[in-house]
Amino acid sequence: MTNTRKINAPATDPETETTTAPEPVLGPPLREGQNPEKVTFAHHLRIAGRDYRPGDSALLSPDYARQLRGNGYLARARG
């Protein structure tokens, strides 16, 4: 004879809740006082082994964003 018993799933503890990791900043390390820029890509680009399609967004260091914007890889900011 088989014994069937329902086991309730344990409640999640507030301490064990998963938090999302902050989005990594692409490009050279930020210097003191710099803030990363949230940009939108205008063309397909592969950075650090990850593909970014047109319309995708990411955090970039300001220096790297300036370089990519000059080469036409980033969409112009609306504002």
Contacts of residue 38, defined as CB under 8 A and 6 or more positions apart, other chains included, come to 57, 58, 59
pLDDT (average), residues 50-71: 94
Supply the pTM of this predicted model. 0.67
Q: Where are the domains of the chain?
A: 35-79
Please tell me the distance from the alpha carbon of residue 30 to that of residue 18, in angstroms, as a whole number. 27
Share of the chain above pLDDT 90, in %: 61
| Angle of CA points 53, 29, 31, to nearest 5° | 125
pLDDT in tens, 33-55: 999 999 999 999 999 899 999 99
